[in-house]
């Protein structure tokens, strides 16, 4: 495995069934370039979230899941990587902001840092918490009282706290499953700005059902439809000269 590969993820071939329903159908040759924002678009039920959860092997926690194929992370087949080790490198942010409501802002970030043994000394942990909040553009808003309960934050702030929580583990990739769909417009814009900033350091794979958002923030984009990969490529090319009629329809808002 090597960081010098141009792609963090490479889906060589992938089929997924959930309770004997074919959810992802023969997805092949999809490569996710390092330090980019890679958007996965598609109407609801097209398999976007399923694809995302294959990448950090979260999908396998569910009953009735069958996965076939090969997916490479830094050149190594993810199904040969210990899922715990994989997930520490591939963070995730969910649709619904889900901070730990029983914990303070500080503890939300420190929890996994301590549990995973990333840092032990208090000064070290303090620094990680601070840096993560800065990277998630939340530090200025909360620095006066990190002991505040996470539940006192607004939806958008909670989502940025969750991003900070994931960043604290220093992941190479951040999977984001429609991170702005439950957030108000202002909060959503801040998160979009954050996504663009973060790609300098990490790779972001963003599930979005909103083509405008994908056009605003992504470098590469793909379209899933009914579990099939319709097309993928540099966003500019896909949005201006879509190869498939389905993509053209979807981008124009005539589908989904």
Residues that bind other proteins (CB under 8 A): 53, 56, 58, 61, 63, 83-85, 87-88, 91-92, 94, 98, 100-103, 111-112, 115-116, 151, 165-166, 169
- Of 1 and 115, the one with the shorter C-beta distance to other proteins is 115
Minimum distance, C-beta of residue 200 to other proteins, in the bound complex (Å) = 23
Given the complex with other proteins, which of 109 and 223 has the nearer CB atom?
A: 109
Task: Spell out the residues 6+ positions from residue 99 whose beta carbon is closer than 8 angstroms to its own.
Answer: 108, 150, 151, 153, 158, 161, 162, 165
* Cβ closest to other proteins, residue 112 vs residue 119: 112
Q: Any residues with CB less than 8 A from the CB of 154 and at least 6 apart, and which?
A: 187
How far apart are CB 50 and other proteins at their closest, in Å?
Answer: 13
Pair type for strands 7-18 and 65-73: antiparallel
Q: How far is the CB of 94 from other proteins (least distance, A)?
A: 7
**Min. distance of Cβ 91 from other proteins in angstroms?**
7
Cα–Cα dist 75/134, whole Å: 31
Whether residue 175 contacts residue 132, with contact meaning beta carbons closer than 8 Å, is answered with no
CA distance 42 to 144: 41
Question: Toward other proteins, which CB reaches closer, 111 or 139?
Answer: 111
Q: How far is the CB of 58 from other proteins (least distance, A)?
A: 6
Minimum Å gap between C-beta 88 and other proteins is 4
> Whose Cβ is closer to other proteins: residue 110's or residue 214's?
110
Name the residue nearer to other proteins (CB basis): 37 or 81.
81
């Amino acid at each position: 495995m090597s960081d010098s590969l141009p792609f963090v993820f490479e889906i060589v071939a992938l089929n997924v069934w959930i309770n004997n329903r074919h959810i992802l159908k023969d997805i092949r040759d999809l490569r996710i370039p390092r330090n980019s924002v890679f958007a996965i678009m598609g109407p609801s039920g097209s398999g976007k979230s399923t694809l995302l959860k294959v990448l950090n092997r979260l999908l396998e926690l569910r009953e009735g899941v069958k996965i076939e194929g090969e997916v490479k992370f830094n050149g190594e087949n993810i199904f040969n990587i210990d899922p715990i080790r994989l997930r520490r490198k591939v963070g995730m942010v969910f649709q619904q902001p889900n901070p730990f409501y029983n914990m303070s802002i500080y503890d939300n970030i420190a929890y996994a840092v301590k549990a995973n043994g990333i840092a032990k000394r208090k000064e070290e942990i303090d620094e990680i918490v601070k840096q993560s909040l800065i990277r998630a553009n939340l530090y200025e808003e909360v620095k006066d009282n990190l002991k505040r309960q996470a539940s006192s934050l607004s939806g958008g702030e909670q989502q940025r706290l969750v991003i900070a929580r994931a960043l604290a583990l220093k992941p190479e990739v951040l999977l984001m499953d429609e991170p702005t769909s439950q957030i108000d417009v202002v909060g959503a814009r801040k998160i979009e700005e954050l996504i663009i900033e973060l790609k300098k350091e990490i790779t972001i794979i963003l599930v979005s059902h909103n083509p405008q958002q994908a056009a605003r923030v992504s470098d590469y984009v793909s379209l899933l439809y009914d579990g099939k990969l319709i097309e993928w490529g540099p966003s500019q090319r896909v949005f201006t000269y879509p190869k498939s009629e389905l993509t053209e329809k979807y981008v124009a808002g005539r589908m989904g």
